[in-house]
Structure 1
Amino acid sequence: MGNLAIIVDLETTGLDSGSDQIIEIGAIKVDLDTGEVVEQFQTFTKPDDVYTFFGDEEELDEEDVEPDGLDPFIVELTGITDEMLEGAPSNPEAVEAFFRFAGDLQIWAYNAGFDSKFLNVHTEEHRPLKDVLALAKRTFPSLANHKLATVAQELNISIEGAHRAMADCLITKEVLLKGIEFQRENPHPFHHGFKASDYRPKEEGMFFGKIIVFTGALVAMTRDGAATHASQFGFKIGSSVTKKTDYLVVGIQDLSTLAGHDKSTKQRKAEELITEGVKIEILTENDFIRMCGIGE
């Protein structure tokens, strides 16, 4: 199936998720190993406050309705007009359709905190979004700023169609792939942006109920990619080794960070617990790949 992930981008009526609303959602399903776009999702969505009503609702007639409409700045920026939103689903309906498209796959966005606030206000189950901006900052630390257009220019990526959701998704994909490549070539023990709690274990997975922890840099995939695979097989991703840990996957260690030790703190903790009778299995990256059948 490949190392699949979702990239999403929103166009909104403004920057405040408390008062502004979504007008377009674009998303792509990407194979992070090959860069191939497997599937696309796009919908306009009509804000529920496009029209302002005056007087008693029971006495309204057409003369009492004054169109409020989109801010001309937003129309100019995005090219999206009020006419394009007519008949579009509501924000909650559009968000629900997007999450159906995303399924259990990991979701990435550029400046994910922005998109997350607008999406998660319409769902009871908070879905974490991974931030491509964090990868861009690590990959291109010397840039004057890390706006998507600035990073795209650094990569010689066309920004034609920018500020429309699908175009921004495709630009973000190239930045994400470059960031993943940088991580692979420059392994870092802290794996900037990695957060174990971002990964939801799939209940249908064969390892549901088991906890897996990663330490060190992986060769065949990023830490994010490995955690995504593991969660798809039902694993809960642990941030540290405890008595509840079932598996520890050991990658390449950066000896300069180990304070004179030849093993990471996580591996030493696992070995200590094993001697106390705790059942923890220590795996190499290849063991993990074979166990999950990745690439078969």
Structure 2
Amino acid sequence: MNFVALDFETANSSRGSVCSIGLVEYENDEVKHEYYRLVKPKKNYFSSRNVSIHGITKDDVADAYEFDILWKNEIQPMVEGKFLVAHNAQFDMGVLRAVLDEYLLPYPLLAYNCTLNISKKTWELPRYNLKSVSDHIGFRFNHHHALEDAQAAAHILLKACEELKVDDTKDLVEKTQTTNGMMYDQQYEPARLNKKKKAKKPYSLSYAAATKETDPSHTFYGASFVFTGKLSSMNREKAIQTVDNFGGHTYSTVESNTNYLVVGNKTYEQYLQGKKNSKLDRTETLLSQGHSIEILPENEFLKYL
């Protein structure tokens, strides 16, 4: 599992007043890199309330760099194009946006989720703040130290995967019915917790292949598909069954490991005219991050069949 856990501490009530940052990068379920820095806020004012929470003072950051220097030289390469997690991500991603706006810096391209939301879908607990969930999973840490808070969020994510018996973040998001947030081109989509259960849709897991003699050499064998727009040649159920017959798998959302986004004829015509729905927009974002996803018009899909 590959992801980066993030945490910020701020000097005052302004979300742009970053005074420390912690990052923990995981690669293949192992810690690859840990990062911690004190940061001098642009408006270097520390409120007594914030100091009482994290203990960082104006004197502590006197010799620290401001965020824009750290961002360009150190932080951006660690988060650009990555999958991030934070506990109560609404706060931390709000801080990131605010401090980037303060320095007129462009937003990075990244996806993220919230371990608080994931916790709510994984365990029945009286409270879901970082300390309560960490206590539940047996992780001990120094709360309100940015690096240790990031470590705690990372452990919560890994423990949730273990609890729900999933091997990657895509399966975790689907099983918890959470929605990833995104940052890109000065745009922002919040991570969400889908409180109501979604009606079951016809995905490949609900279907059995019509024949067990699938062809491993076929392009669709083992590939992951997402459909968008109304198909004119067949209904959605038949399309999903067809993919399944070739040994492929169909999912509801576009993710970094999606192979094909199949687009109905009318929706594809609108796309060529510059009109994008959410799945096409997300695909373009992931493509810009270097992921390999083929946008497949319906007629091209039929040629493969």
Secondary structure of 1:175's counterpart equals helix
Corresponding residue for residue 38 of structure 1: 32
Does residue 194 of structure 1 match 2:205? no
Question: Is the contact between residue 151 and residue 175 of structure 1 (CA under 8 Å) also seen in structure 2?
Answer: yes
Q: CA offset at residue 278 of structure 1?
A: 2.8
Report the residue type matching 2:226 in the other structure. Answer: V
* Cα distance, 1:77–1:165 mapped onto 2, change above 3 Å: same
Q: CA offset at residue 190 of structure 1?
A: 6.0
Structure 1: runs of 5+ lacking an equivalent = 51-68, 201-210, 216-222, 246-272, 283-296
Q: CA offset at residue 191 of structure 1?
A: 4.4
Q: What do the CA deviations read for 1:162-192 (whole angstroms, capped 9, x no partner)?
A: 1010111111111010112233369896642
| Equivalent in 137, 140, 155 of residue 120 of structure 2 | 137
Report the residue type matching 2:35 in the other structure. Answer: F
Q: Percent identity?
A: 18
Report the residue type matching 1:21 in the other structure. Answer: S
| Equivalent in 177, 180, 183 of residue 158 of structure 2 | 177
Question: Is the contact between residue 41 and residue 101 of structure 1 (CA under 8 Å) also seen in structure 2?
Answer: no
Secondary structure of 2:144's counterpart equals coil
* Cα distance, 1:144–1:281 mapped onto 2, change above 3 Å: farther
Secondary structure of 2:263's counterpart equals coil
Report the residue type matching 2:301 in the other structure. Answer: V
Instruction: Please report the TM-score for the alignment, with normalisation by the length of structure 2.
Output: 0.56
Instruction: Please report the TM-score for the alignment, with normalisation by the length of structure 1.
Output: 0.57
Corresponding residue for residue 203 of structure 2: none
| Equivalent in 76, 79, 90 of residue 66 of structure 2 | 90
Q: CA offset at residue 74 of structure 1?
A: 2.0
| Equivalent in 14, 17, 21 of residue 17 of structure 2 | 21
Question: Is the contact between residue 243 and residue 278 of structure 1 (CA under 8 Å) also seen in structure 2?
Answer: no
Corresponding residue for residue 254 of structure 1: none
Partner Cα separation in structure 2 for residue 103 and residue 37 of structure 1? 18
Single out whichever of 144-153 and 6-15 deviates more from structure 2.
6-15
CA RMSD of aligned residues (A): 3.6
Corresponding residue for residue 289 of structure 2: none
For 1:1-296, what aligned pairs fall within 5 Å after superposition? 3-17=1-15, 20-31=16-27, 33-34=28-29, 36-50=30-44, 69-96=45-72, 97-121=74-98, 122=100, 123-125=105-107, 127-140=110-123, 142-159=124-141, 161-184=142-165, 191-195=176-180, 198=182, 213=226, 227-228=255-256, 230=257, 241-243=262-264, 278-279=301-302
Report the residue type matching 2:138 in the other structure. Answer: N
Partner Cα separation in structure 2 for residue 281 and residue 27 of structure 1? 44
